[in-house]
A and B are shown apart, each in its own frame.
Chain A
Amino acid sequence: MADSVTQILNSGPPGAKLNIAVLGDGFAAADQTAYNAKVQDLLLDGVFARDYFYEDKSAYNIFRVNLISVDSGVSQRVYDEKGTPTDASDDTIVSTTIKNTALGYIYSGSWAHCWLEGGAGTGAKVNAALTTWVPDYDLVVIILNEPGFGGCGGGGFQIVTLGSSWAVMAHEFGHGTGGLADEYCANPGAYPGGEPGAPNLTINTDRATLKWRQFVNPTTPLPTGTGSCADYNAGPKPAGWSDSDDAGLFEGGGTWSRGIYRPVVNCRMRGNSPPYCPVCYTRMKSNAEPYAQHTFENVYAGDFNGDGKDDILVHSGNAIHIYRSNGSQLDVVFSAVERVPGSWQFTPGDRFFVGDFNGDGKDEVAVFNGTNWVMEYLGLLADDGANGLRLIARYDNSMPGWDFTPGDRFHVADFNGDGNKDLFVFNGSNWAIPYVGMLRSTGTGFALANRYDGSMPGWQMRPGDRHMVGDFTGNGKEDLWVFNGSNWSIPYLGMLRSTGAALKMSKRYDGSMPGWQMRPNDRHYVGDFNGDGQADLYVFNGTDWSIAYLGMLESTGRKLAMVRRYDGNAPGWQMRAHDMHWIADVNRDGKADLFVYNHQDWTPEYLGTMISSGTDLVSAWKEDWVGEWNLGSVDRFEPCDFEGVGGRRDLIVHNTDWLGMIRATPTLSLRRIYHKWIHNYRYGRNW
């Protein structure tokens, strides 16, 4: 068996990530399975399965190097510690038993000797192994095939025995990647130095200049704990106080017991097992930010656990995160980089379509990639039973009856009324003729229910066709709406009724609808604005006329009737060319309302709601700011129900660095705002 390397966490090119090289010493050929299991246990199932490291997996690569030692186990050294186990200077070597191992480490079990040490040539052997197998490393973990306890860290290295735990390793990574200081106090003395450079220690007790003041609640007394390695003792500990998440000023840290302060009672940098405190967490996040490359650009809302509250899926490059909503805040519950079991490999061109494709009350995710691979792929990701997703179906290049091409556009709709969302797919750009496919969900995949080549009943397809979905008949089967304003001499709108397995033209409008003269730039929003169970149509045109128009056309089940047309102004909203709309149900009355946003036509930006009475609209809006959210041109909105109250009265607003949770009732207001990452600090925030 030869030496080898296996990348066990593949987040991206080494220069764009923090690279962890894992080497083994004293593992003979027969021990390699045990070594692999230990690496898995310590790193993937240990450090990277929990809190900060789980969230930021995409900042790291892990390379497991299998070095084959001749002997099993490592060399041993026995020291005579002369009764002073904390002082190495008077120690003498009693015996050394050398084994022939790949790196030549010697285990002593002596704390003062860092538990272990290198033998002759160990440094060169380690360098040679790194040069050969992981030429660009940031952190090095060396696992010794030694059952005794111990480990030696420093300089980005940690050399550990089989007796080491993931928690100690995570603590050491705090030093190795975050430059964090220890927060425990093993030394009974007082700290003799000046202000430490580390972000999580201080000698400053002034609230106004304290370096982690942003995380300290003004009601928290400072210092919060005084005395040797103090717990909270400035009065009774408040109800609900968290020893690892609530920041204050606690005496003891940096190994000293007095004269220096740490931010919390017990952080990972003190007790190993607790998560990082707000100060350390923020440092770790900030440090890893250039490598994690997370943004809030691609956000999808869906109820992934079926609790009635919409969660969000955030896609950044080759990583996805699911953040669970509890009604007013988001918490990470799933983090995947590069792939999910099944397997789907995430890339920047992935497009996600959220819906309950198997009727289990939880949303699944259909994902399509037509740009990043040799061929196109369609996948279906479903609940993995542990808050995450796994691939349950994948179609490579084609599925029976449909050849995928980059221009495929998907729409989620339950066209057969079986309770499983299905997919309509349209391609108007990659073939000589346009195609529409009806991909029926089987719950475990998709099957072609029907395909239309070039034309549908009563509709000649063209590349510029734009599709909407909505059940205008009210029979439980979602229908297809299609508009074309660019490829014909007059615009057309078609309402195609779904029979479950086919489409039938219900009504086609040539050039005009009742009370509405169609124009190329008409924009359509399908929603049941009168609550009669039949999907109706909002239509807006802000560019083809001298003033903007908004029409409300109700479905009679077979065709449309104009209910109301607003010319220039809607009640409470002055319409302009660049108004953008989203279907909502702000007041939860079962009538489809609209969110409306305009960031181009006025000096400030406007975000509004247009609430339908069934025959009319009433608008309200916020100008420039919604709470602390400064509305801008880069903002994108995802209507949803993160509160879980029914209807669709909430918005996730997001751009590259910011994400906000806005609710529309009683007025538009901001519930939460997150910058760069989603974390709910007990007090304060990371900006």
Chain B
Amino acid sequence: MADERMQTGRGIKPVVRSSRLPRMTDEAPPAKPIGGRTLLMAAEPKADTGKTRRMSAVSKATARQPKEHPEMKARATRAATRRKDGYVHLRVRVSESGRLAVVGAQAVEGPLVSSKLQGALAYEVALGGTPIASGSIPDAGEKRSFPAPDAEIPEMRGHHVTQVPTYDVSVRVPKAEVPVAELPKLEIALYRIKEELPEEAPAMAAAAPIGEQFERELRPVGRLKGIRPEKLAKPVADEVKKAFR
């Protein structure tokens, strides 16, 4: 396309959109048939006398505003639609050695938004090697007592921080992506965020696992290879099967 720029000043000719189109004249416009007929507005249109699909007649009633308005009435949503975009909130226990274990699972209805990979930890969920979800855990693995503002000992005016050997994190898995039968192929990788990831880094890696994409910024903490309900404690196994059903 040619570089077309506006020109202004004396003698600049108008841009002709199409030479096949006419120029404006002082003549009355030709009447264009509509549906084969010439339709012209009457000088004084007749009043409407129809009865169907009309607003009800104007009454002299006035609207009184109630003291409290009721909830605005929502449209009914179809359960089938809601089920389709649900996800599972997995509670995963991280031990000191980096071992990951599922200790709880709950199905949640509705859409799932991926968080940015910022904070203390990041996780990625993959199925058969293909990443399907990722997220971050801003705060994990420590316990902080609130500062004592009036303490005589300066140290007590800050947190007392205790590293927790075992802690739980939340991992969210799109339900539709993981049939129960595929759970043994599900992998959860947990990383410590050592350095800030680039701001534009997608939370959900498009192609490669985040551990490969951000090798410099992420450090592995642990990896759970497959969820086998039969190897879980019964209450947890029941929760997992119910959640992914």
Shortest Cβ distance from A179 into B: residue: B119
Decide if A186 touches B154 in the complex (CB within 8 Å).
Answer: yes
Shortest Cβ distance from B91 into A: residue: A127
Q: Per-residue 0/1 for A334-345: is the Cβ within 8 Å of any B Cβ (1 yes, 0 no)? A: 000000001111
Shortest Cβ distance from B151 into A: residue: A111
Q: How far apart sit A373 and B32, CA to CA, in the bound complex (Å)?
A: 41
Decide if B45 touches A199 in the complex (CB within 8 Å).
Answer: no
Q: Per-residue 0/1 for B148-170: is the Cβ within 8 Å of any A Cβ (1 yes, 0 no)? A: 10010111111111101001101
* Of A354-362, A573-581, A656-664, the one touching chain B: A573-581
Q: How far apart sit A634 and B212, CA to CA, in the bound complex (Å)?
A: 36
Known: A135-B108, A431-B54, A568-B15. A154 touches B164 (CB 8 A): yes
* Of B68-76, B176-184, B223-231, the one touching chain A: B68-76
Residues on the A chain within 8 Å of B28, using CB: 490, 511-512, 517
Cβ contact of B73, chosen from A374, A548, A567, cutoff 8 A? A374
Decide if B34 touches A186 in the complex (CB within 8 Å).
Answer: no
Residues on the A chain within 8 Å of B196, using CB: 197, 199, 211
Known: A155-B167, A372-B75. A546 touches B19 (CB 8 A): yes
Decide if A549 touches B24 in the complex (CB within 8 Å).
Answer: yes
Decide if B142 touches A460 in the complex (CB within 8 Å).
Answer: no
Cβ contact of A577, chosen from B17, B58, B148, cutoff 8 A? B17
Shortest Cβ distance from A566 into B: residue: B14
A424 within 8 A of B: no
Q: How far apart sit A342 and B52, CA to CA, in the bound complex (Å)?
A: 36
Known: A290-B113, A433-B50, A574-B14. A547 touches B145 (CB 8 A): no
A36 within 8 A of B: no
Q: Per-residue 0/1 for B1-23: is the Cβ within 8 Å of any A Cβ (1 yes, 0 no)? A: 11111111000111111111111
Known: A186-B158, A287-B119. A602 touches B4 (CB 8 A): yes
B128 within 8 A of A: no
Decide if B8 touches A403 in the complex (CB within 8 Å).
Answer: no
A463 within 8 A of B: no
Counting chain B CB atoms within 10 Å of each CB, the highest count among A175, A377, A446 belongs to A175
Cβ contact of B199, chosen from A286, A454, A510, A571, cutoff 8 A? A286
Residues on the B chain within 8 Å of A625, using CB: none
A325 within 8 A of B: no
* Of A258-266, A391-399, A409-417, the one touching chain B: A391-399
A276 within 8 A of B: no
Residues on the B chain within 8 Å of A135, using CB: 89, 106-108
B116 within 8 A of A: yes
Q: How far apart sit A541 and B222, CA to CA, in the bound complex (Å)?
A: 66
Q: How far apart sit A403 and B57, CA to CA, in the bound complex (Å)?
A: 10
Decide if B21 touches A546 in the complex (CB within 8 Å).
Answer: yes
B39 within 8 A of A: yes
Q: Give the residues from 51 to 95 in chain B that come closer than 8 angstroms, CB to CB, to chain A.
A: 52-56, 58-63, 65, 69-75, 87, 89, 91
Q: Give the residues from 275 to 315 in chain A that come closer than 8 angstroms, CB to CB, to chain B.
A: 283, 286-287, 289-291
A400 within 8 A of B: yes
Counting chain B CB atoms within 10 Å of each CB, the highest count among A160, A344, A511 belongs to A511
A590 within 8 A of B: no
Q: Per-residue 0/1 for A418-452: is the Cβ within 8 Å of any B Cβ (1 yes, 0 no)? A: 00000000000001110100000000111110010
Shortest Cβ distance from A199 into B: residue: B196
B213 within 8 A of A: no
Shortest Cβ distance from residue B39 to the other chain A in the assembled complex, whole angstroms: 5
Shortest Cβ distance from A270 into B: residue: B158
How many residues of A sit at the interface, in one of the four size bands? Answer: 35 or more
Q: How far apart sit A479 and B140, CA to CA, in the bound complex (Å)?
A: 64
Across chains A and B, the number of contacting residue pairs, with CB separation under 8 Å, is 345
Known: A86-B160, A186-B155, A447-B63. A150 touches B145 (CB 8 A): yes
Residues on the B chain within 8 Å of A435, using CB: 55
Decide if B6 touches A517 in the complex (CB within 8 Å).
Answer: no
B110 within 8 A of A: yes
Known: A127-B104, A574-B15. A623 touches B6 (CB 8 A): yes
Q: Give the residues from 131 to 166 in chain A that come closer than 8 angstroms, CB to CB, to chain B.
A: 131, 135-138, 149-156, 160, 164
Shortest Cβ distance from residue B140 to the other chain A in the assembled complex, whole angstroms: 5
Q: How far apart sit A168 and B157, CA to CA, in the bound complex (Å)?
A: 12
Q: How far apart sit A291 and B110, CA to CA, in the bound complex (Å)?
A: 14
A455 within 8 A of B: yes
B233 within 8 A of A: no
Shortest Cβ distance from residue A542 to the other chain B in the assembled complex, whole angstroms: 7
A459 within 8 A of B: yes
* Of A12-20, A24-32, A234-242, A635-643, the one touching chain B: A12-20
Shortest Cβ distance from A453 into B: residue: B48
Residues on the A chain within 8 Å of B153, using CB: 85-86
B195 within 8 A of A: yes
Q: How far apart sit A605 and B203, CA to CA, in the bound complex (Å)?
A: 34
A184 within 8 A of B: yes
Shortest Cβ distance from B145 into A: residue: A114
Shortest Cβ distance from residue A347 to the other chain B in the assembled complex, whole angstroms: 8
B144 within 8 A of A: yes
Q: How far apart sit A523 and B29, CA to CA, in the bound complex (Å)?
A: 17
B129 within 8 A of A: no
Residues on the B chain within 8 Å of A508, using CB: 41
Q: How far apart sit A203 and B34, CA to CA, in the bound complex (Å)?
A: 77
A611 within 8 A of B: no
Q: How far apart sit A113 and B143, CA to CA, in the bound complex (Å)?
A: 10
Known: A401-B58, A488-B41, A603-B1. A154 touches B144 (CB 8 A): yes
Decide if B146 touches A86 in the complex (CB within 8 Å).
Answer: no
Decide if B24 touches A517 in the complex (CB within 8 Å).
Answer: yes
Decide if B142 touches A154 in the complex (CB within 8 Å).
Answer: yes
Decide if A14 touches B203 in the complex (CB within 8 Å).
Answer: no
Residues on the A chain within 8 Å of B74, using CB: 373-374
Shortest Cβ distance from B20 into A: residue: A546
Cβ contact of B55, chosen from A153, A184, A403, A606, cutoff 8 A? A403
A569 within 8 A of B: yes
Shortest Cβ distance from residue A452 to the other chain B in the assembled complex, whole angstroms: 10
Decide if A179 touches B138 in the complex (CB within 8 Å).
Answer: yes
Residues on the A chain within 8 Å of B154, using CB: 186-188
Q: How far apart sit A14 and B86, CA to CA, in the bound complex (Å)?
A: 10
Q: How far apart sit A623 and B74, CA to CA, in the bound complex (Å)?
A: 47
A604 within 8 A of B: yes
Decide if A455 touches B48 in the complex (CB within 8 Å).
Answer: yes
Task: Supply 25 A–B pairs (Cβ within 8 Å), ascending by A.
Answer: A13-B111, A15-B87, A111-B151, A137-B170, A186-B154, A187-B155, A343-B69, A343-B71, A345-B71, A396-B70, A400-B60, A432-B50, A433-B50, A488-B40, A489-B40, A518-B29, A542-B17, A546-B16, A546-B17, A546-B21, A548-B15, A568-B14, A569-B13, A574-B6, A623-B6
B residues contacting A by CB (< 8 A) are 1-8, 12-29, 31-34, 37-48, 50, 52-56, 58-63, 65, 69-75, 87, 89, 91, 104, 106-116, 118-120, 136-148, 151, 153-162, 164, 167-168, 170, 172, 192-196, 199, 203
A residues contacting B by CB (< 8 A) are 13-17, 85-86, 88, 111-115, 127, 131, 135-138, 149-156, 160, 164, 168, 172, 175-179, 182, 184-188, 195, 197, 199, 211, 255, 283, 286-287, 289-291, 342-345, 372-375, 377, 391-396, 399-403, 431-433, 435, 444-448, 451, 453-455, 457-460, 487-492, 508, 510-512, 515-519, 542-549, 567-569, 571-577, 601-604, 606, 619, 621, 623
Top 8 A-B residue pairs of the complex, sorted by shortest distance between their CB atoms: A568-B14, A186-B158, A179-B119, A13-B110, A454-B48, A135-B106, A432-B53, A460-B45
